[in-house]
Amino acid sequence: MIINTGLNACSAAQAMAMKPILMNEAPILPLKGCDMAKCDCKFTRHNDRRLDSRRDRLKSAEEIMGNANNRREKKERRKQRY
């Protein structure tokens, strides 16, 4: 998201204008030190930069490595130890 400064924007808002801000790090508007009688600043959200879900293309570990190390498929593994 970005701060979209309105007509009455303080210098702090102008300095932050058009710079990307993470949603969980966004300051509260009006900004501290805002000296405008009426603050017109607003947040503008942008769409996610990813075009698609990358998880769809990922394979599970089992698909990549196979079941070679899965000892549960071997029967009676305890008897082999003794």
Confidence of residue 27 (pLDDT cuts 50, 70, 90): very high
Asked if omega into 20 is within 30° of 0 (cis), the reply is no
What's the pTM value of the predicted model, to 2 decimals? 0.51
Please say whether the beta carbons of 34 and 78 come within 8 A.
no
Domain-wise residue ranges, the chain = 1-47
Asked whether residue 70 carries a pLDDT value surpassing 80, the answer given is no
CA 75 to chain centre: 45
Beta bridge partners of 74: none
> pLDDT digits over 49-64, tens only?
666 666 656 566 666 6
Question: Largest Cα–Cα distance in the chain?
Answer: 84
* Closest of 52, 48, 55, 54 to residue 23, by C-alpha: 48
